[in-house]
Amino acid sequence: MPLTTITDETRLALATLADRTIGITSPSIRLGVTGLARAGKTVFISALVHNLVHGGRLPLFRAYSGGRVLGARLEPQPDDAVPRFDYESHVAALVDERIWPDSTRQISELRLTIQYESASLFSRTLGRGRMHVDIVDYPGEWLLDLPLLSKDFATWSREALDFARTPERRATAAAWLAALEAVDPKAPEDETQARNLARTFTEYLRATRAESGSLSTLPPGRFLMPGDLDGSPALTFSPLDLADDDIPAGSVAAMMARRYESYKTAVIRPFFRDHFARLDRQIVLIDALEALSAGSTAVAGLETALAEILAAFRLGRANWLSALVSRRIDRILFAATKADHLHHGDHDRLEAILSRIVGRAIDRARFAGATVDVIALASVRATREGTVTDRGQRLPTIIGTPLPGETVNGRVFDGSTEIAMFPGDLPDDPESVFEDGEHLSMPLQYVRFRPPRLERTAEGLTLSLPHIRLDRALEFLIGDRLG
């Protein structure tokens, strides 16, 4: 099933041609920032902009460290109908209050304009260059909806029920599964029954996301953040236990299938057409540590979700002519976030594990012609490193201030006390994270830390937000455009 119609493609071509024409003198690049829930999308964007605008330490971002980036500033975004990313409030939360900003709940956009000198002597003689980076942020739950575009109602129902009936999910899904047993899919449609099923299904989705260590890998995403669609028929449906693919007209199954298709038409397709299909570069942020802490089932679920998501990406390279009317994502960066929760000696292991988890997605992207990289990063570094001696053995530690209410070894912290802790080690063999067995449980202490207190210069100036490998991410995502 195609992800776009001929009309969609025509609109996309016209919009792209208009963007390219306007961008002849000041080219733009549309950077998508996405990831599953709690992966750190808001923090990544805030830290990226803060470091570029306030003179951060970015040695691996070559145009910047080489002195060719002359400045960066925020400008009005090109899409007037899209909410602006609230950069100022998010940075105030990080810097002034030392709290993590609220998670992404809607699509938003921000334009960062970079002034630079070209690496080419000939180009430098023509004057300074300017490039717009249009950053598009959207909830991870919306990302999970994209695979639905290629699935009909019966296929989605079978997959949802198979997942709910696994040993790990049966208890969480019990109320919804019990409600399903009382429904005859071929009986006449009933609005009260539909609302009850939608409610119990939504409660199941919410409980799955709230489970300790669980990753939200279940669509539809808008069920958990409905916005102005709350209570509408497009959000009042549920998978059904279908004995076969026969769906009689006027039945409960026909009503659910119709609303499922309306959801795709009214919610998913406009998002894909108006935002997702217009991206040039993409970073996918992944809280791999949470999946590892949850065990092999969560890791396998994450692998499946990411492989399905990549199937909806418009990947590949376009030549100069086709690029005038078509956008393709030609670079994708998979980033394991919260690397500051581990000692740096484990960062290579974290990257190797993430490479294994996204292996199928990487193969698909490279086959389509996209360039792919994997990185372990911390958009804002909340810890520093040290060592402690325990019974004569020196252990590498991370040092930071746990958030209020965090518990370590039975001690509850108040948000003002700093601790040094051994975070544990990751396995050397990436394949082992997919295997069952107690010997594979991750000896990780997963503690949420407060954002750091920013250093000040002798003149009283506040320095930029500290990070781990944010500069490497910038070099991969936009460095080639500043040549």
In this prediction, residues 79-98 reach a mean pLDDT of 93
Q: How far apart are CA 349 and CA 59, in angstroms?
A: 23
Q: 3.10.20.740, 3.40.50.300, 3.30.470.20, 3.50.50.60: which CATH number matches 6-138+275-381+469-482?
A: 3.40.50.300
In this prediction, residues 422-449 reach a mean pLDDT of 76
In this prediction, residues 67-82 reach a mean pLDDT of 93
Rounded to the nearest angstrom, the gap between the alpha carbon of residue 95 and the centroid of all alpha carbons in its chain is 23
Q: Does the pLDDT value for residue 323 go beyond 50? A: no
So what's the pLDDT on residue 440? 43
Which of 47-61, 158-172, 174-188, 289-303 comes out lowest in average pLDDT? 289-303
Closest alpha carbon to 103 in 32, 33, 43, 31: 43
C-beta neighbour count of 241 within 10 angstroms: 16
Q: Does the pLDDT value for residue 150 go beyond 50? A: yes
Scan for tokens 């910038």, then name that residue: 474
So what's the pLDDT on residue 15? 61
Q: Who's near 285: CB < 8 A, 6+ residues apart?
A: 33, 34, 35, 39, 40, 41, 44, 335, 337
pLDDT in tens, 335-378: 999 999 999 999 999 999 999 999 988 888 888 888 999 999 99
So what's the pLDDT on residue 310? 77
Closest alpha carbon to 382 in 479, 448, 434, 284: 448
> What is the chain's mean pLDDT, rounded?
85
C-beta neighbour count of 441 within 10 angstroms: 11
Q: How far apart are CA 311 and CA 316, in angstroms?
A: 12
Q: Give CATH 3.40.50.300 domain extents, the chain.
A: 6-138+275-381+469-482
Give percent of the chain above pLDDT 70: 86
Q: Does the pLDDT value for residue 321 go beyond 80? A: no
- Helix orientation angle between 470-478 and 41-53, rounded to the nearest 10 degrees: 80
pLDDT in tens, 213-237: 444 567 898 888 776 778 889 899 9
So what's the pLDDT on residue 216? 52
Q: Who's near 235: CB < 8 A, 6+ residues apart?
A: 198, 220, 222, 223, 226, 229, 263
The dihedrals phi and psi of 384, each to the nearest 5 degrees, come to -130, 175
In this prediction, residues 41-48 reach a mean pLDDT of 96
